[in-house]
């Protein structure tokens, strides 16, 4: 399914010479998606025009406005156009106060400066979009090694959150910015990708952002990675952070599928995240790499509560247990996701999340538990579908012996427990 960007056709009415210098105003307005301005000479003429026609924004001079004009603004103009910018040469305290009283929310001094005008317009545009000021939650899914299930967890976690919070907008973003798997796993045919977004990031707003994303399962919107190699360099740390703040401003939940390489872009995303889901498996290489990642997170100053360790593909045959993982990592496991090769393979072939393909499976249950741990509370709470998550004791699960058994000695050596 594809979408076409619908440029916002915002209209503006300018009164007299409120917008001097005109070239500056025209440029800033055009950049923010406004049509060519309509003009009238006086505040009284604006009030008359607004009786028969709606405008999104009115820019008017308040420098010489007397009580009669202020009353026109307050009663006639404001009713028809709630977004007004007042301009004047001398911004005295008294003038700004009377403008505010008349319901003019923004004031900019003339001659207009592009930056100041843009800030004022941006604030108004933000107010035009209900719900925009919400600060969404970013959940970053990461693993230092490839193939442990990062993409699977990101896709199904986003689906579970979208299902559990149907009135909230959920974004799934492939932050493996070139050649990521989200579009493949969900069989998307996106018209746009993260590369198109980065080109427009400084003038993005809610409608434009949504139009660049592709509808995915459970009503979520997906921002897929690009196929163009040059996007790799385009999305450096600053651009990545701009993309994240836009997403956070427009979506209550943003789930990121991160690349394994810890470059500046990925570290920036981890920094920005409210929660990090660190995916691991019950194998020696996976746990050792997770150990190193947790040490690094510690050095980066992440609070332990920010990081939720998730064990993927656990099964009864694994020689290592959840309890081993907790001992090795020195922290509880937030969720344990069972190994389910058939469900995963079939869901991928169909291009749908496991959660939609087999909603009743233990694996789907695991994803739902993880979603409610992360999206239900402000900090990840320790929950596990099997109730295995809190203990640090030995010998549960597959019965691997006592803490002094031969296998435990080997495990301690493998994971260098007791050394720094």
Ligand X SMILES: Nc1ncnc2c1ncn2[C@@H]1O[C@H](COP(=O)(O)OP(=O)(O)OP(=O)(O)O)[C@@H](O)[C@H]1O
- Which residues lie near ligand X (CB under 6 A)? 143, 146-152, 181, 260, 312-313, 337, 339-341, 344, 348, 363
- Residue 223's contacts (CB-CB under 8 Å, 6 or more residues apart) are 171, 172, 173, 174, 193, 194, 197, 212, 213, 214, 247
Residue 204 to residue 210: CA distance in whole angstroms: 10
Which residue lies nearest ligand X, judged by its C-beta? 146
Q: Residue 312 touches which of Mg ion, ligand X, none (CB < 5 to 8 A by kind)?
A: ligand X
- Residue 395's contacts (CB-CB under 8 Å, 6 or more residues apart) are 323, 401, 402, 403
Find the binding residues for Mg ion in span 127-166 (CB under 5 A): 150-151
Q: Residue 339 touches which of Mg ion, ligand X, none (CB < 5 to 8 A by kind)?
A: ligand X
Tell the burial category of 109 from Cβ atoms under 10 Å away from its Cβ (0-12, 13-18, 19+). middle
Nearest to 281 by CA among 147, 403, 407: 147
Q: Which is nearer to ligand X, 104 or 258 (CB)?
A: 258
CB of 294 to ligand X, least distance (A): 17
CB 86, CB 104: distance < 8 Å: yes
Evaluated on CA atoms 301, 303, 306, 308, the torsion sign reads positive
CB of 281 to ligand X, least distance (A): 9
Q: Which is nearer to ligand X, 16 or 224 (CB)?
A: 224
CB of 259 to ligand X, least distance (A): 8
CB of 341 to ligand X, least distance (A): 5
Residue 326 to residue 317: CA distance in whole angstroms: 18
CB of 10 to Mg ion, least distance (A): 39
Selected from 8, 56, 174, 181, the binder of Mg ion by CB under 5 A is: 181
Q: Which is nearer to Mg ion, 181 or 193 (CB)?
A: 181
CB of 231 to ligand X, least distance (A): 17
Stretch that binds Mg ion, among 62-70, 123-131, 174-182, 379-387 (CB under 5 A): 174-182
How far lies 180's CA from each of 251, 259, 268, 273, 343, in Å? 21, 8, 18, 20, 21
Q: Which is nearer to Mg ion, 181 or 324 (CB)?
A: 181
Q: Residue 212 touches which of ligand X, Mg ion, none (CB < 5 to 8 A by kind)?
A: none
Q: Residue 52 touches which of ligand X, Mg ion, none (CB < 5 to 8 A by kind)?
A: none
CB of 381 to ligand X, least distance (A): 22
CB 254, CB 213: distance < 8 Å: no
H or E, element range at 40: strand 38-40
CB 213, CB 171: distance < 8 Å: yes
Give the gyration radius of the chain's Cα atoms. 27
Q: Which is nearer to ligand X, 77 or 154 (CB)?
A: 154
Q: Which is nearer to Mg ion, 43 or 279 (CB)?
A: 279
Residues near Mg ion (CB under 5 A)? 150-151, 181
């Amino acid at each position: 399914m594809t979408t076409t960007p619908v440029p916002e056709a915002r209209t503006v009415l300018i009164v007299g010479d409120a917008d001097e210098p005109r070239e500056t105003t025209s440029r800033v307005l055009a950049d923010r998606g406004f049509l060519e301005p309509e003009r009238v000479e006086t505040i009284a003429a604006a009030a008359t025009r607004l009786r028969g026609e709606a405008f999104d924004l009115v820019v008017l001079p308040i420098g010489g406005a007397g009580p009669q004009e202020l009353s026109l603004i307050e009663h006639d103009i404001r009713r028809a156009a709630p977004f007004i910018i007042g301009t004047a040469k001398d911004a005295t305290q008294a003038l700004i106060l009377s403008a505010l009283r008349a319901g003019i929310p923004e004031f900019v001094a003339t001659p207009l400066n592009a930056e100041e005008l843009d800030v004022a317009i941006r604030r108004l545009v933000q107010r035009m979009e209900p719900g925009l000021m919400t600060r969404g939650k970013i959940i970053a899914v990461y693993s230092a090694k490839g193939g442990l299930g990062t993409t699977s967890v990101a896709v199904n976690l986003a689906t579970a959150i979208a299902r559990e919070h149907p009135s909230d907008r959920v974004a799934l973003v492939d932050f493996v910015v070139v050649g990521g798997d989200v579009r493949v796993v969900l069989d998307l045919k996106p018209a746009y990708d993260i590369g198109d977004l980065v080109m427009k990031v400084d003038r993005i707003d809610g409608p434009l952002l949504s139009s660049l994303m592709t509808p995915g399962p459970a009503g979520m919107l997906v921002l897929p990675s690009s196929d163009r190699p040059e996007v790799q360099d385009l999305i450096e740390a600053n651009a990545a952070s701009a993309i994240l703040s836009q997403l956070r401003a427009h979506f209550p939940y943003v789930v990121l599928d991160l690349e394994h390489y810890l470059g500046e872009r990925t570290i920036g995303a981890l920094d920005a995240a409210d929660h990090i889901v660190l995916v691991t498996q019950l194998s020696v290489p996976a746990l050792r790499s997770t150990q190193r990642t947790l040490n690094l997170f510690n050095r980066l100053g992440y609070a332990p509560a920010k990081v939720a360790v998730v064990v993927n593909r656990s099964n009864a045959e694994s020689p290592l247990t959840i309890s081993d993982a907790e001992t090795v990592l020195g922290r509880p496991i937030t969720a344990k996701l069972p190994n389910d090769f058939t469900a995963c393979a079939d869901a991928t072939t169909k291009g749908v999340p496991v959660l939609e393909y087999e909603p009743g499976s233990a694996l789907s249950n695991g994803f739902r538990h993880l979603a409610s741990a992360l999206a239900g509370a402000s900090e990840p709470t320790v929950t596990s579908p099997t109730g295995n998550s809190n203990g640090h004791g030995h010998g549960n699960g597959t019965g691997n012996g006592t803490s002094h058994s031969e296998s435990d000695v080997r495990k301690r050596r493998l994971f260098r427990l007791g050394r720094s």
